[in-house]
Structure 1
Amino acid sequence: MLSFVGLGLYDGEDISLKGLRKIREADHIFLEGYTSRLMGIKICEMEDQYGKTVTVLGREDVEQHPDTILEYAKEGPVVFLTGGDPMVSTTHADLRIRAAERGIKTEIIHSSSIISAVCGLSGLQNYRFGKSCSVPYPTENWFPLTPYETISANLKLNLHTLVYLDIQSERYMSVPEAVRLISAMAEKKNEPLPKLFIGIARAGSENPTVIAGNAETLVNADFGPPLHVLVVPAELHPIEEDYIRTFAGYHD
């Protein structure tokens, strides 16, 4: 059995009771550590909470070399932990398909996700979001424009955009960094910069930061420690506008 268990958004208290029971019943526990991170708990603290060893996996371990996980799952209960909800990332769906092809039974223990948390923290209505995108750190010879193109396409359809920010080994993109990069993309495309952004930091914690405003406002704002995520709103519904005025410091 291979159980995909969501850890939620921030710390060790976000996991469901069902997920915690699956961990305690498992012979082996793996943690996917590349699509998201729980900033409110360390691996050693997880192991203390679970009473078991947690093996951290990189992208190549899951996407290219999943045999160890699958072989263990053929013999007994295995838990595959992920930040947020397990099936938000396509790499996790691929692992479940591979398990099914080997005749391994699977199950999903869902948890809170940034997708729903963003709606609660920003007040933006969930059915008004279009395609999401990610802003990566550029390299010397690579500066992708796809994130801006996705945002622009959504705005033309009057849809909001959820923008994921790059996570590297010990480097976490901040909202101000992301806004600067999107500004550079717009300049390279010779197209206008979105008029409004909403930055969110530490969703799921006791003290999340939510700030709405134009590019200059967010570039100069202090969002504090990671993880950060960005939203580019389309035209606001009156309730959405009231919400960000009340809870995100927005003003014209």
Structure 2
Amino acid sequence: MLTFIGLGLFDKEDVSEKGLRIIRSADVVFLEGYTSKLMGTAKEELEAFYGHPVRVLMRADVEQHPGELLDCAAHGNAVFLCAGDPMVSTTHADLRIRAAERGIPTAIVHGASIVSAVCGLSGLQNYRFGKSCSVPFPQAHWNPTSPLDVICENQGQRLHTLVYLDIQDTRYMTVNEAVGLLEGMAERKGVTIPLYVGIARAGSASPVVRAGPAGTIAKTDFGPPLHILIVPGELHDMERQYLERFAGLC
């Protein structure tokens, strides 16, 4: 049996009671460590909390070499943990398909996701979000502008854009860095992004939410990771009031 369990947004206590019960009764516990991370806890704390050793898997382990994980699930009860909700990532959906192809039963225990959390923190309504995108760290010969294309397409339909920020090992893109990259793309293409909403440490006791133009965001100290960004489309009156009240929009 392979059970996919979402751990929620920030620390070890965000997991559901159902998920925690299944983790503690599992034969082997795997933790996915590449799409997102629980910044409010450490692997050692999770192991003490679960009463189990935790084996961290990186992208290649899941996408290219999942054999050991699937073997464990074929011969016992294995759990596959990830921050947020398990099925937001397409790589996890692919892993479930691979398990099914081997005749391994699977189940999902959902967790709080950043996809819904940003709506509560920003006040932007979930049904008004279009396609999401990601901003990667630039590399020597690779600096894609596709995130701006997605944003422009959404803005043309008066929709908001959720922008995921790159994670590379222990390097985490900040809201400020992402806005700088998007502003560079926008300048080269001759377009304007009038408003951003930056969010840091969703799910913690002290999240930061700030709305404003690029200049305002550039001066904001969002603090430690994880960060995420929203580029709003046209605002509804209640959305604007919420951002004014809770995100400092002027």
Asked whether the two chains share a fold, i.e. TM above 0.5, the reply is yes
Corresponding residue for residue 175 of structure 1:
175
One-letter code aligned to 1:56: V
Amino acid at match of 1:233: P
Question: What's the offset of the Cα at 1:170?
Answer: 0.9
Residue of structure 2 equivalent to 1:83 = 83
Q: Distance in 2 between matches of 1:178 and 1:133?
A: 12
Q: Using structure 1 for the length normalisation, give the TM-score.
A: 0.98
1:108 matched to which residue of 2?
A: 108
Normalised TM-score (structure 2)? 0.99
CA distance in 1: counterparts of 2:147 and 2:5, whole angstroms: 29
How far 1:193 sits from its partner (Å)?
2.3
Q: What is the DSSP-based 3-state SS (H/G/I as helix, E as strand, rest coil) of the residue aligned with 1:244? A: helix
SS in 1 for 2:167: coil
* Deviation digits for residues 77-112 of structure 1 (CA, Å, limit 9, x no counterpart): 000001100000000000000000000000000010
2:236 counterpart residue number: 237
Opposite residue 8 of structure 1, the aligned amino acid is G
4+ residue runs of structure 1 moved beyond 6 angstroms?
A: none
Distance 1:219 1:141 in 2: 26
The correspondence of residues 82-161 of structure 1 with structure 2, limited to 5 A, is 82-161=82-161
Report the secondary structure of 2:171's partner residue: coil
SS state of the match for residue 172, structure 2?
coil
What is the CA-CA distance between 1:219 and the residue it aligns to? 1.0
Amino acid at match of 1:243: Y
**Identity %, equivalent residues:** 62
RMSD of aligned alpha carbons: 0.5
Q: CA deviation at 1:220?
A: 1.2
Q: Aligned equivalents of 2:96 and 2:140: distance in 1? A: 36
1:6-17 to 2 correspondences below 5 Å:
6-17=6-17
Letter in 2 for 1:83: A
What is aligned with 1:163?
Answer: 163
Deviations along 1:187-231, one digit per CA (max 9) or x if unpaired, are 222x22210000000000000000000011001110000000000
Q: How big is the shift at 1:140?
A: 1.5
**C-alpha deviations, 1:21-62, integer Å up to 9, x for none?**
110111010000000010000000000101110000010000
Unaligned runs of 5+ in 1: none
Question: How many residues matched?
Answer: 250
Q: Secondary structure at the match of 1:13?
A: helix
Q: Tell me, in whole angstroms, the C-alpha distance in 1 between the residues paired with 2:24 and 2:89.
A: 24
| Equivalent AA in structure 1 for residue 36 of structure 2 | S
Structure-2 residue corresponding to 1:216: 215
Give CA deviations for 1:117-166 in whole Å, capped at 9, x if unaligned: 00000000000000000000001111110001100100001100000000
- Deviation of 1:179 after TM superposition, in Å, equals 0.1
**Are 2:207 and 1:202 aligned?**
no
Q: Aligned partners of 1:150, 1:135: CA distance in 2, in Å?
A: 11
Counterpart of 2:73, as a letter, is A
